[in-house]
Structures are given as structure tokens and as C-alpha cells.
Structure 1
Amino acid sequence: MLPHARAEKYDMVKEYAGSTFFNDWAFYDHFDNLTNGDVVFVGAQQAAQNKLAFVDPSTNHAIIKIDNTTTVPFNEKRNAVRIQTNEMYSVGSLWTIDMYHVPYGCSVWPAFWSHSPNWPDGGEIDVFEGVNLQQRNQMALHTNPGCKQVNPNQSVDSSFIPNTDCSYLTNNNQGCIVNDPDVQSYGAEFASAGGGVWVTEYAESGISIWFMPREKVASVISSNSSTIDTSELGTPTANWPTGGCDMNTFFAPQNIILDITLCGDFAKPPQIFSQTCPGLCYEDWVVGNGSSYATAYFEIGSMRVFSKSGTTTTVGGQNNSDSSSGSSDSSGSSGPSDNSAATLNVDWVRMMMYVVSLWGIGLGSSFVVENFAF
């Protein structure tokens, strides 16, 4: 493997961890009208009261989960959580997330990702995403037309790259996907390995993502160093160089997002759901007592954001006016009431493109299976 092509040094500017993990996030207090998921995203206070978003005092880890204790009747939805950073991070940023468990299970669709508030302008970076009982993480970019993955310096070979065109207008918003061949990057295997760390670099030279299972986490990460030199991380798992996708043209400051939905436009279609799960996504899994969602949770040690040494890449987010006075602590004593309007405008186009990809005229099931290659 070649070393990372353009090593940079970064200094930590923000840490989300421990009892203050949920400070400075906006909770999307609304049903999932973004991706047609069968969930209601609850606000900060309800999430804390119902133990859907809290800090575990025994580990000091943040937990974000699907409700697995309520009996949901037919035609109703299950409670879940979607949070987005109040602040945005511009080119010249790097963020890490140390997770011990990621959500998985039939009907479950989790993601750790970022986007610009004016998507597709400003782009989207999908660091972690998957559905149902798939075995591997999927990484991708989604942008305006003109951005492509060209000559990447990455450890994943071409057999795990179903598409290199990042345009949301190409292949019905498939994005330029890199599938991680490591089965420890998702689901039960991730948990049994003790979790791991993702590092995302959003640099002038391009976007890179590293995945490191627990036993292979680089020492500069495991030591919680306040400075990271990317030359110490080795070859990225996935890489989109600026030569095929100019960062200043296709990307803008990013809000970082963590969410879990159920079914929806990605996990629910029978052509996808039946690949790893029996029955019907909503009727046989969402409805009922919720015991099947015991594994549908994030357990997060920390998320840390860095800026290129000598620079400041933190910028104010559009959600600050809604939530700066109501950030949640681990007890959930306060929280933003509703930031749905801000996010709805961003994600409506994404939802419609998913719908087109799944039910568009002339598209058969074989296309859908390829579109979301696992």
C-alpha cells in the first residue's frame, strides 16, 4: 500500500464526549418525512426521558437507539433519534468517531454522515451507512454533476466500487460508492471485534475515510492525541481526490449527522429487504413489541473534530438560532424543540431521488440490487 498521498497535520477544535456529548446537537423533532422511514424522531427531552439518547454512567459512552420497549400497533411508527451538529465544518477539517457498537438488524437503517445545508449544493459525505443484516459498511459522496472518483489512493480495490460518478443526477442518486470489504465494519462482527474508529478527512486534496477495527486503531487515535498527522494513518480505506472532484466547487461547510431510521426508501424495498431478512419490513418487524431491536443502537466513545494546523474551520450553523439555548445534557433537562424546517429543505431532494431510483419507470429489481451493492 502507498502512504497517504498528501499528509496534513490537524489540531483538535471540538470534542463530543462523556456527560456533555449531546451538547451542541439539534434533535430533529419530527416524524421521518425525509426518507419515508417508519419512525418518529423525538426531541432531546423525550429522547432522554425514554432512554433513546443518553450517556451511560457506567461507561461514559453515548447511546443513541431505537425504541425497543414499546408495542407499536399497525399504522403507527416507532420512536428514534436523529441529531445534527449545530456547528458546521469547512474544508480543512478532519473528524473522528470512536464507536463500540453500531445499529443493525432487520428493518434497521443507521448512518453517520454529513451534508451542506443547501444540498445538493455543497455535497454530502456518507462515512457509515447500511441496512438490515448486510455485512459491510458503505461509504459514498453525493454532489452536483461533475464530481467523480478519479485515480483514488485507497486500500479498497475496484471490485468494491459499484459507481464512480458522485452526481445526484446519475444512476438515480446512487453516489460514488466505496464498499468496505472488511466484515468488521458493520453489524455483529463490528460489535464482536470491540468496535472501531472512522476518520474522515475533508481537505483541499480531497476526501478520505479510514476505518480501523479496534485492534488496528492507529496509536495517534487510541492515545486521544489533540494533534493528528495523517501520515500516521496509512492508506485510506476510501479516497476521492480533488483531481476528479474539486473540493471548493462541489463541497461547502458540513453539518455532521447521526441517525437511525426503520425501513424507509433504502431498507424497505422487497428487492433489498429479502436479501438478508424474511417477511415484510414494516408489518413483520416495526409493528409489535420491539424486542427485535435490542441491537439497534449506537454506542459512542467520542466524536472529535480537528482543523488543519494554523486554521479555524468551524463555522456557525443554521440551527444555532433554534437550539443554542436548549442543548441537551445527559439528563435531557432541555433541548431544541424542532429543527425540522431547516433539515426538510435539505433532504427532500434526497428522498425524491431515492423514490425515483426504486420506483422509476422502466427500472427493474436487478437495477435496485446493484444500486445498493453490499
Structure 2
Amino acid sequence: MLAPILLLCLAASSLASETYSVADTFIGADFFKWNWETFSDPTHGRVMYVDQDTARTTNLSVASNTSFLMRADNVYRVSSADPGRKSVRITSPSAYADSVLVLDLWHMPTGCGTWPAWWTVSQKGPWPRGGEIDIIEGVNQNSRNLGSLHTTPDCNMTQTRVQRGQTVSTVCDASVNYNQGCGVEFTKPNSYGRDFNTNGGGRVAMQRGSCGINMWFWSRDDPNVPLEVSQGLGTINPNQGLWGEPDAVFPADSCDIAAHFDAHNIVFDLTFCGDWAASAYANSSCPSTCEDYVDNNPSAFSEAYWEISSLRVYTPAAQ
């Protein structure tokens, strides 16, 4: 028998039929109101996350009326006694459950040794309880974005789904496959890394609800970007007829989304090497070893920065 929530989702025919209203908008200096994390990197990266005062005084974070920039240090070598290259990790002050996030991004960190991510994670935890949703993620010189989920056991995805992207893995359980999670690689051009930046960036959206999780990407010059996305309108409706087929779809047919995902904080970070970037480094056409490269080539990280035009958080409109 189908679970009651799945019957409701089938009856509604689509997760994307609901209207959402803007709840929070973050532009420029609004990001200085976020929480700046300085703990040791949980993914074992060669990184030292700095506090806001340090980031501002050392020019690692800069805000204008129209953009927010946060970057890694690209001036100094890193000594073997240091935890790693200085960088920034910020977390939203509020947590959100059912919602749509729309990010307008000019530039993302890229280059050998880099591991940037824009993601959400349970405020309550402890991880992986309450779930993790990776919306933008990649390492080294990747050119395709990876969207993925990480959960407690009993959350799986089918191999074939109605999505533009290509299914990479189907088991979301973080204790399986070295925490690979269930991932979808985007197949649209310019979705990640240097190609994304050269093309002027773009917009990325994530919608979550009890019927599933959807992700979309539109490059800067994509003529099909919805007007409500490009203009940052106060209400949106991610109907698949208007927004197009999602690049990644994680339906509730073999995962109880509501049981595995609670209210999430939003996170931007940039780490180096660590569990993923270091393990993939040997096959990335990058020189030396990951940690040696990160420590001794500061100028190589001139492109290791986020430049955000805006982030809007939408929540379900009152019925």
C-alpha cells in the first residue's frame, strides 16, 4: 500500500503547484547579519574559518548595495603548523522548513583544491538527523554541479526520474558509501566552476516540501529563466510548466521527506582538500598533492570566491 503522504502527493499531481511568498531577502550587507562559524572543518579540510571582524579587516568579505563577496586568502602561504588557508563559512540566523530558496550568483569559488558548497542543514541535528541538502557543490576543476541529499537510514531514490540531470547515486543514508548521499549531476552547460563564472553566473533554486525536493539552474543568459526568478518578485509558483523541468528531483515515493528533513539553516562555505576534494585530487589534472598545492600557491586562489547578487527565501503563502 502507498503511504498516505504519497497518495496526497499523487493527488496533487506535482510538488510544484503551490504559491510561495518572500519571507527573507539577503543582499549586500545583509549577509553580515549571518552567523560566522570558526570551528574546525567537519569535512577535515585544509582550512581556517575566520570570524567576521577578521574577514572584513583582511578583505576576505566585502559588501556593496548590490552584491556580497566572500573569499579565501590568496596572499599568504600556509605553514604546516596552521590548520589551513583562511576562508569563510556563514550560516543563516533563521531556519526554514517547507520553502523555496532562489540564489542569484555572479561567481562561485573554483580551482584546484577548492570545495565550495551552498547547502542547508538541520538546525536541531545532530547531523545527519534532520537531513542535509546540497544545492551547489563540487571540487577541484569540476564543470558540472552536484545536487544531493544526506540523511539517516531508509531514504532512497529511484534511478530514473523526470529530471534534466543524471542520477549519480540513489542511497541518501549518510552511513553508506562513505557519505556519498543520493546525488544528481546537472547536465545543462555552465552549471559549475570556471564555466559558470565565465558565463556571468546564473540562478539556482531549491524547493522542498513533504512531496519531495526539486532543484533548478538557469545560466545568466538563459532565455527561459522565469520572470519571477530573474526579477525577484514577491510571490512565486514553481509550476513545472513555467519553471521548466527540474535539473534534480528527489521525490517522496521511496523516502519520507517530512520524517528525514526538519527546519534547516542555510550555509555558504569554502573549504580545501578534505574528504572529497583531496580524494578526487589525483584524477583532477591538478599539480602536486592537494595540501601542498593549497599551502604553497596563494595566487592560485584568486578565483576562490563567492559573489552573491541576492538570496531570497520564500515560504508557502497563506491559504
Between the aligned partners of 1:279 and 1:226, the Cα distance in structure 2 is 49
What corresponds to 2:79 in structure 1?
73
Match of residue 234, structure 1, among 241, 244, 252 = 244
Work out whether residues 10 and 307 of structure 1, in 8 Å CA contact, stay in contact via their aligned partners in 2: yes
Q: Percent identity?
A: 34
Matched position secondary structure for 1:155:
coil
Q: Which runs of 4+ in 1 moved over 6 A?
A: none
Q: How does 1:306-321 map to 2 (within 5 A)?
A: 306-310=314-318
C-alpha displacement of 1:48: 0.9
What corresponds to 2:285 in structure 1?
276
* Structure 2 residue 17 is matched with structure 1 residue 10: no
Q: How does 1:46-85 map to 2 (within 5 A)?
A: 46-55=54-63, 57=64, 60-76=66-82, 77-85=84-92
What corresponds to 1:135 in structure 2?
143
Match of residue 201, structure 2, among 195, 199, 203 = 195
* Structure 2 residue 182 is matched with structure 1 residue 176: yes
What corresponds to 2:271 in structure 1?
261
What corresponds to 1:20 in structure 2?
30
Match of residue 129, structure 2, among 117, 121, 127 = 121
Between the aligned partners of 2:169 and 2:101, the Cα distance in structure 1 is 25
Matched position secondary structure for 2:177:
coil
Match of residue 162, structure 1, among 160, 168, 177 = 168
Work out whether residues 16 and 237 of structure 2, in 8 Å CA contact, stay in contact via their aligned partners in 1: no
C-alpha displacement of 1:273: 3.5
What corresponds to 1:325 in structure 2?
none
Q: Which amino acid aligns with 1:233?
A: W
What corresponds to 1:372 in structure 2?
none
Matched position secondary structure for 1:274:
coil
Between the aligned partners of 1:4 and 1:103, the Cα distance in structure 2 is 34
C-alpha displacement of 1:192: 1.4
C-alpha displacement of 1:4: 6.0
Work out whether residues 212 and 218 of structure 1, in 8 Å CA contact, stay in contact via their aligned partners in 2: no
Work out whether residues 164 and 186 of structure 2, in 8 Å CA contact, stay in contact via their aligned partners in 1: no
Q: Which amino acid aligns with 1:139?
A: G
Between the aligned partners of 2:297 and 2:149, the Cα distance in structure 1 is 36
C-alpha displacement of 1:289: 5.1
Between the aligned partners of 2:189 and 2:285, the Cα distance in structure 1 is 15
Match of residue 304, structure 2, among 271, 278, 296 = 296
Between the aligned partners of 1:30 and 1:116, the Cα distance in structure 2 is 17
C-alpha displacement of 1:54: 1.8
Between the aligned partners of 1:301 and 1:190, the Cα distance in structure 2 is 15
C-alpha displacement of 1:5: 5.7
Q: Which amino acid aligns with 1:278?
A: P
* Structure 2 residue 148 is matched with structure 1 residue 147: no
Q: Which amino acid aligns with 1:133?
A: Q
CA RMSD of aligned residues (A): 1.7
Work out whether residues 16 and 22 of structure 1, in 8 Å CA contact, stay in contact via their aligned partners in 2: no
C-alpha displacement of 1:165: 1.3
Between the aligned partners of 2:191 and 2:309, the Cα distance in structure 1 is 16
Matched position secondary structure for 1:230:
coil
Matched position secondary structure for 2:200:
coil
Between the aligned partners of 1:98 and 1:234, the Cα distance in structure 2 is 18
Between the aligned partners of 2:301 and 2:185, the Cα distance in structure 1 is 25
Q: Which amino acid aligns with 1:256?
A: I
Matched position secondary structure for 2:162:
coil
TM-score (norm 1): 0.76
Between the aligned partners of 1:31 and 1:204, the Cα distance in structure 2 is 33
C-alpha displacement of 1:84: 0.7
Work out whether residues 122 and 250 of structure 1, in 8 Å CA contact, stay in contact via their aligned partners in 2: yes
1:73-115: CA deviations, max 9, x gaps?
A: 334321100011111001x211111101110101111000011
Matched position secondary structure for 2:190:
helix
C-alpha displacement of 1:185: 0.7
* Structure 2 residue 114 is matched with structure 1 residue 108: yes
Between the aligned partners of 2:79 and 2:142, the Cα distance in structure 1 is 27
C-alpha displacement of 1:220: 1.2
Matched position secondary structure for 2:283:
helix
5+ long unaligned stretches in structure 2: 1-12
Q: Which amino acid aligns with 1:293?
A: F
Work out whether residues 156 and 182 of structure 2, in 8 Å CA contact, stay in contact via their aligned partners in 1: yes
Number of residue pairs aligned between Structure 1 and Structure 2: 299
5+ long unaligned stretches in structure 1: 312-374
What corresponds to 1:35 in structure 2?
43
What corresponds to 1:333 in structure 2?
none
Matched position secondary structure for 1:286:
helix
